[in-house]
Structures are given as structure tokens and as C-alpha cells.
Structure 1
Amino acid sequence: MARKESNMLPLGTQAPDFKLIDTVDNRKKTLKELKGTTATLVMFICNHCPFVIHVSSELSQLAKDYVSKGINCIAISSNDVDNYPQDRPELMKKTAIDNEYIFPYLYDQTQEVAKAYDAACTPDFFLFDKNLELVYTGQLDDSRPGNDIPVTGKDIRTAMDALINNKSVNPNQKPSVGCGIKWK
């Protein structure tokens, strides 16, 4: 399992807009219609990455815990499905249902959205405030497959809680670590 760190898009960056197919309901959705009233978490994930599989239940719980607080989550898969068929849209839908994702799981077929966000790995996280300005990018928490640290979502939860409480998000952020996005 090759490890790749996120690129750490500069804080303050405006969220790039997109219009992508939601693999669960097969409808095109935009960032503007999916954004939360308090914040928006954009997550680059995929079906087969062991780093994503390791945190998938926490991703589901995170959304359930924060949607009522005005924070919407959006997952995007940008992997090359020709060479990684386990990440095909129909299997994304199955993954979303099996993992009880209450957030849209979008397919970035052209990989343009991943490039616009400078996404590098799965998982890769981008938390934007209500104005869609980047306030957090980095890891979910310190847990990785095989390191015996429990998955808690501590780092992202701390950033989300700061936004809910109208406080500044700590700018000292650790990059996410995962499998590199499978580019075409």
C-alpha cells in the first residue's frame, strides 16, 4: 500500500465549483446546492483504498453528527475506473449504501475537480466555511491502518466545532495520508 500525503491547498482558497453525478440517485449536483449553512466538508475518497476503508464508518458518523449543525459532507471519487474497476460508479453506489453514507458520493470522471482542489490522496479532506473559504485541510485524525490508534475524526471534528462556535480554526494542520489518486 503506497502512502501519499495531501498537498495542503492554501487556507483561504475559495472552493472550486463543480457539477458531478451523484452515484446514489444518478442526478447531477453542484457545490452551491450541496453546501452547508455553517460549513462544507469535501472529501476525496474511493471504494478500494485501505486508508478509506479504515475510516469509512467514521465518515458516516461524522456526517450524521454534523448535518443537523449546518455542516454538509460531500464525497468525491476521481479515480481512473478503467484501471481500477472496483471504483466504478455502480460500485460507488453500493459502497455508499453499505456504509450508510447520508452524503452524496459523486463521480469525477474527468478528474478535473480533483485537480481543481489539488487533491492528492484518498482520503483527502477540505473543510470550507459558510462563505466557501478553506479553513481546514488535512487528516481526519492520527489513525492509519495497522497503527492501533482508534479512529475518532478528532482533527476534523475540532475544526468543525470551532466553526460552529464561531471560533478560528487552528492553522497548524497535518496532511492527510492515503493512497494516491489513480490518475488517467
Structure 2
Amino acid sequence: MTLTPSSMLPLGTKAPDFNLINTINQQSLSLNQAKKDLGLLVMFICNHCPYVKHILDGLISLGHDYQDKGIGIVAICSNDAITHPDDSPEKMHQLAKEKHFPFPYLHDESQQTASAYHAECTPDFFLFDHNLYCVYRGQFDGARPGNTIPVTGQDLRMAMDALLGNNPISTEQKPSMGCNIKWKAE
């Protein structure tokens, strides 16, 4: 495990397109199908990362709290499932069903989506407005395994609430931190 910060995609970047398989229902889901009227949250997560595990219940709560508010939410796993079998589509499906994910859990087998989003770590968060321009990329909150900060999702929730209220989102955003994306060997 290598502690890796997010790359902080430039604000205003247009959301790269994707069309990936949702491991929950085995259906294909595109960027345009995932977005809602007010925007889209794209989360790069995985099954095995201790940083994701630490905030997973908070992510699920966030998904439930915002699922009917006009912002689409998707989680994407881009890790190499050969070297990290806990992140295989079958295990992704199992975790999503067991934890009752309120959002699609997409498998990025080619890793092209992670590359297009400049995703570096799990978790890595990208919030896009109604025109699919990046308005937030940063941490869920300050909680990490081993520290005493409670998991609240306050940083991401503040950005989502500002987006919902058509209010400015602070450009002072802290990078997410977690395990590096497990890229395939070339």
C-alpha cells in the first residue's frame, strides 16, 4: 500500500465520457445516463483499500442522503483485478449487495476511465455541475485510518450542498489520500 494523494484535476475540466458495466445489475452505464439535472459525483473506490473501508459506511450514507436531490452518484473501481482479486467484478458485486450500495458500482476493466479522470488513489472524488464541469475534487473529510477524526464526509457534503443551492464552492480544496490505483503492468 502506497499512500497517494489525488492529482487535483483542474477545476472547470469537462467530465470525461465513460461507458462501464455496473457490477450490481450487469448493465452498461454511460456518463450521460449517470448524471442528473444538477450534476454528477464520480468516486473512485475499491474493495480492499483500508482508506476506502474506513469511510465506506459514510459513503453509503452520503449516497442515501443525496440520491433524490438531483446529483447522480457513481462509484468506479479501476484496480487490476488480476493482481488484486478482492477488486474483481464478482467481489465488487458481492460488496455492493452486502452493503446495499445506493449508487452503481462500475468496473473500469481497461483502466481508461481512471486515466481520463487522472484518478490517482482510492478514494478519489470528482464533483461535476449540471454542465459536467468539475467544481470539486478533493477529500471526503479529514478522517483516515489511525486518526481520531470522525467520518462525516463534511468536505464533500459542503461542496454538494453548495452545488444544490447554486452557491459558490470554495476553490480551497484538500486532496484526497489513499491507496494508489493498482495499474496493470504494461
Give the corresponding residue for 1:173.
173
Match runs of 1:14-163 below 5 Å: 14-163=14-163
- Cα pair 2:67 2:102 within 8 Å, conserved: no
How far, CA to CA, are the matches of 1:98 and 1:144 in structure 2? 23
Task: Measure, in 1, the Cα distance between the counterparts of 2:110 and 2:82.
Answer: 12
Q: Is the 8 A contact 2:12 2:135 kept in 1?
A: yes
Q: Secondary structure of 1:69's partner?
A: coil
Question: Structure 2 length normalisation: TM-score?
Answer: 0.97
Tell me the percent identity: 54
CA deviation map 1:94-142 (0-9, x unaligned):
1111222110000000000000000000000000001100000010000
Corresponding position of 2:2: 2
Stretches of 4+ aligned residues off by more than 2 angstroms: none
Gaps of 5+ in 2: none
1:37-84 residue CA offsets vs partner (Å, 9 max, x unmatched): 112100000000000001111111101111221112100000001100
Matched letter for residue 9 of structure 1: L
Q: Distance in 2 between matches of 1:155 and 1:98?
A: 27
Report the CA distance between 1:182 and its aligned residue: 0.1
SS in 1 for 2:68: helix
Moved more, 151-160 or 63-72: 63-72
CA-atom RMSD in angstroms: 0.7
CA deviation after TM superposition for structure 1 residue 33, in Å = 0.6
Paired residues of 1:63 and 1:72 also in contact (CA < 8 A): no
> Which AA in structure 2 matches 1:116?
A
Q: TM-score, normalised by structure 1?
A: 0.98
Q: What residue ranges of structure 1 are gaps of 5+ in the alignment?
A: none
Contact 1:48/1:87 (<8 A) preserved:
yes
Q: How many residues align?
A: 184
